Amino acid sequence: MPRSILFSFASDSYRYAVREIREAFPGEHRFERVGAEVARLADSAVSVEDLAAACDDGRIMFVRHLTVEVAGYPLDDLPTAQELATTLLEEITVRSVSVQAWIDGAGTGSHYRHLIADALTSRGISTELSGRDVVVSGIVAGKQLLLGVNRLADSLSDWPGGRMRLARGEDRVSRSEFKLEEAIATFGLELIPGGKAVDLGASPGGWTRILRQHDQEVWSVDPGALDPRLQSDRRIHHEATTAGRFFAGNRVRFDVVVNDMRMDQVTSARMMLDAADHLRRGGLAIVTLKGGGKNPLDGARRGIEVLRERYDVRHARQLHHNRNEITVVGTHE
Ligand SMILES: C[S@@+](CC[C@H](N)C(=O)[O-])C[C@H]1O[C@@H](n2cnc3c(N)ncnc32)[C@H](O)[C@@H]1O
């Protein structure tokens, strides 16, 4: 029986997400926008597994989270815990699940999370915030509480609606740090300890700091300054120049190249082609394709087309911490 799939996205990316789904899965589809950041693919002919696979490999970039809709209730007429649990238990065959809740256009949905988790606990199901193979989602959108159940493997993210929350510690150098941290966690990227990384567009040094946390020796390329807190680290080499000039004189072979340079998608991707000459085979590339503009989808696709000349593109997604950007991950072929 066809099920409806709830998918989430950045509030101004809905039309791109819909276009991508239509192009990846030609045929009749019924889309219903149920909130600023969530929509329904009603009675979907596409399975959630196939949709998740298209998001995982970058064919669909503007979808952040998926769940299969199992019920919906008006907020002013919520079911009893007993009824809630009975509905969910028809969908759940495991004894332990993650329960995640979020409020569309607002913060976390901890009140609703407790409601769902308590209902399940009373029926002997143990609940966690994350880390289980099955995720129960509660989404407050408009005046409704929507319930979804999905395998973590098909959810794209282990955070409520794909909204990853990272601690804002005092040692943070920039807000951009979150983008790299989110990419590494979401795509399960592994940086070889003791590796060499080049950080293009490094100033003020947020990504450099994250790379150091992953035990990389970092060449930080940017005409702009690095945060003073990074200056005493002898495994950070600030190259106060542009990426083009740096590569013209570079002799280091890198394991990782990251690029958060502020420039349009194609120019940035072309610089990654130069970078490939300095990256070992199989080396990792992480780049934010910026440029947003009138058509961020086509801009990102043009950038990715260029990247494919030298990289095996593994993932491409507008992550929670991205603004008008797509984070692309590839390996050097
Ligand atoms: C968004 S900021 C990078 C923030 C950084 N990732 C962090 O976490 O702190 C973009 C940077 O790209 C740099 N940039 C732009 N064009 C560049 C180029 N051709 N070569 C090197 N850096 C460049 C800018 O100087 C700017 O500092």
- 259 Cα to the center of ligand 1, angstroms: 8
**Residue 269: is its pLDDT beyond 80?**
yes
Instruction: Give the pLDDT confidence score for residue 36 in this predicted structure.
Output: 97
> Could you give the CA distance from residue 53 to residue 162 in angstroms, rounded to a whole number?
16
Q: At 170, is the pLDDT very low, low, confident or very high (cuts 50, 70, 90)? A: confident
In whole angstroms, what is the distance from residue 191 CA to residue 181 CA? 12
Domain count, the chain: 2
Task: Please tell me whether residues 11 and 156 are part of one structural domain.
Answer: yes
Q: How many residues can be counted in the chain?
A: 333
CATH for 273: 3.40.50.150
HSE-CB at 119 with a 13 A cutoff on CA atoms is 21
Cα 199 to ligand 1 centroid, rounded to whole Å = 9
User: Ligand 1 mean position to 174 CA, how many Å?
Assistant: 12
> In Å, what is the CA distance from 43 to each residue of 59, 68, 69, 148, 221?
22, 10, 10, 14, 49
Pairing of strands 126-128, 311-317: unpaired
Same domain membership, residue 226 and residue 90: no
Structural domain for 218, as ranges: 177-332
- This prediction's pTM: 0.95
pLDDT at res. 292: 66
pLDDT digits (tens, 9 = 90+) for 39-92: 999 999 999 999 999 999 999 999 999 999 999 999 999 999 999 999 999 999
Ligand 1: atom nearest CA of 206 is 8
pLDDT, one tens digit per residue, over 283-306 is 999 999 997 667 899 999 999 999
Considering only CA atoms, which residue is closest to atom 13 of ligand 1?
201
- Mean pLDDT across the chain: 96
Residue 1 has pLDDT above 90, yes or no: no
Helix, strand, coil percent values for the chain (each to nearest 5): 30, 30, 40
Q: How many CB atoms lie within 10 A of CB 28?
A: 7
Q: Among residues 103, 138, 162, which one ends one of the domains?
A: 162
Decide: 136 and 120 in contact? Cβ < 8 Å.
yes
